[in-house]
């Protein structure tokens, strides 16, 4: 089973699914946060698609960096398994059938912000992926104290990925 199903919906952008799966596997194995079992969907999108999703699901038509959707409710408690209502409790749903969630990353936003901050777009894109992963692991960033905890978690996760030679992303090819 692949750690991540990767969709590149931004024209003229590509990234190796194996690299993204390795990032997800590393975080699952080594990061100190619990993460839902199952396959993670990662979509790399452009401005138009991310704005449409932002409007449709969050009632905000503005551009954003990442949108995260939780997976199956039955798998919302990390490392705990349950069965769907009405199914045989002797046959719990397996990890392989689980859907951990989806992280939708905006390639165009990463390129813009990277230019503003004078960093590589691949670094900014990886930050967005990590941020979405942390949301699925239970972190939030609505309140100031939560934002501080999220920034610290992002730094820790990125340090871990650098230590494992998985940061920065090496296979990301950006639109010109």
CATH number of the domain residue 151 falls in: 3.40.390.30
Q: Is residue 44 part of a domain?
A: yes
Q: What percent of the chain has pLDDT over 90?
A: 73
Whether pLDDT at 102 is above 90? yes
**What stretch of H or E contains 175?**
none
Tell how strand 66-70 and strand 4-8 pair up.
unpaired
Whether pLDDT at 2 is above 80? no
What are the C-alpha distances in Å from 24 to residues 51, 86, 148? Answer: 25, 32, 23
Q: Is residue 172 part of a domain?
A: no
Q: Is residue 21 part of a domain?
A: yes
Whether pLDDT at 85 is above 50? no
Q: Is residue 132 part of a domain?
A: yes
Tell me what the pLDDT averaged over the chain comes to: 87
> Which tops the pLDDT comparison, 91 or 35?
35
Q: Is residue 55 part of a domain?
A: yes
Of 68-72, 90-94, 165-169, the least confident: 90-94
Whether pLDDT at 89 is above 60? no
Q: Is residue 54 part of a domain?
A: yes
Q: Is residue 139 part of a domain?
A: yes
What are the C-alpha distances in Å from 79 to residues 23, 43, 64, 74, 76? Answer: 19, 24, 30, 11, 9
Structural domain total, the chain: 1
- What residues make up the domain containing 74? 4-82+93-163
In the block, which residue shows the tokens 């503005």?
Answer: 62
The pLDDT of 32-43, averaged and rounded, is 92
> Which tops the pLDDT comparison, 91 or 60?
60
Q: What percent of the chain has pLDDT over 70?
A: 85
Q: Is residue 169 part of a domain?
A: no
107-113 contact pairs (CB < 8 A, 24+): 107/10, 107/13, 107/44, 107/45, 107/46, 107/174, 107/175, 108/10, 108/46, 108/47, 108/50, 108/63, 108/175, 109/47, 109/50, 109/63, 109/64, 109/65, 110/65, 111/174, 111/175, 113/65
């Amino acid at each position: 089973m692949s750690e991540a199903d990767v969709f590149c919906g931004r024209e003229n952008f590509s990234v190796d699914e194996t690299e993204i799966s390795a990032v997800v596997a590393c975080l699952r194995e080594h990061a100190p946060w619990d993460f839902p079992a199952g396959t993670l969907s990662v979509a790399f999108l452009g401005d138009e698609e991310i704005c449409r999703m932002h409007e449709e699901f969050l009632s905000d038509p503005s551009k954003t960096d990442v949108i995260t959707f939780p997976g199956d409710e039955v798998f919302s408690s990390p490392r705990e398994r349950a069965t769907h209502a009405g199914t045989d409790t002797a046959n719990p749903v397996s990890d392989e059938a689980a859907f951990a969630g989806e992280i939708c990353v905006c390639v165009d936003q990463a390129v813009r912000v990277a230019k503003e901050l004078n960093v590589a777009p691949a670094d900014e894109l990886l930050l967005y992926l990590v941020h979405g992963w942390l949301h699925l692991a239970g972190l939030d960033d609505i309140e100031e104290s939560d934002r501080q905890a999220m920034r610290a978690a992002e730094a820790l996760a990125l340090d871990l990925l650098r230590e494992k030679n998985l940061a920065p992303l090496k296979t990301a090819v950006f639109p010109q």
